[in-house]
A and B are shown apart, each in its own frame.
Chain A
Amino acid sequence: MFLTAVNCIRGAPRVGPAKFWRVQQYLRFSWGFRGRKRHCYRIGMRYIHKALVYATQGRQLKKIQMHKLWDMRIDAAAQEHNLTGCNFCEGLARSNIQLDRKVLTDLAIFEPRTFQSLVEVSKRRLEEEGIADVQAPRPQGVFTRGML
Chain B
Amino acid sequence: MAQHRVQQWATFARMWWLYDARWQCPFQSAPVIIRHLQGLHKPIYHPLSDVGDHVVVINTEHIAMEGDLWRNWRHFHHTGYPGGFSATRVWKVHEADPTKVLHKQIYSTVKGNLLRRPIMARLHLYPDDNVPEDILKNITGQIRQLREVPKRLDEYTQDERDAFPRLFEWPADYVPNPGKKTVKS
Contact = CB atoms under 8 A, between A and B. Distances in A.
Interface of A: 69, 72-74, 76-77, 79-80, 105, 108-109, 112
Contact of B45 (A76, A80, A112): A76
Main secondary structure of the interface of B (DSSP, over half): loop
A112 B47 CA distance: 21
Which of the listed residues A73, A74, A105, A112 has the most CB atoms from chain B within 10 Å of its own CB?
A73
Nearest to B35: A76
Contact of B41 (A74, A79, A108): A79
A108 B41 CA distance: 12
Which label, helix, strand, loop or mixed, suits the secondary structure of the A interface? Answer: helix
Contacts of A109: 43-44
A69 B43 contact: no
Contacts of A69: 45-47
Name the residue in A74, A76, A108 with the highest tally of chain B Cβ atoms < 10 Å from its Cβ.
A76
A54 to B, nearest CB: 19
Contacts of B41: 76, 79-80
A76 B46 contact: no
18 contacts: A69-B46, A69-B47, A72-B40, A73-B43, A73-B44, A73-B45, A74-B43, A76-B40, A76-B41, A76-B42, A76-B43, A76-B45, A79-B41, A80-B43, A105-B43, A108-B43, A109-B43, A109-B44
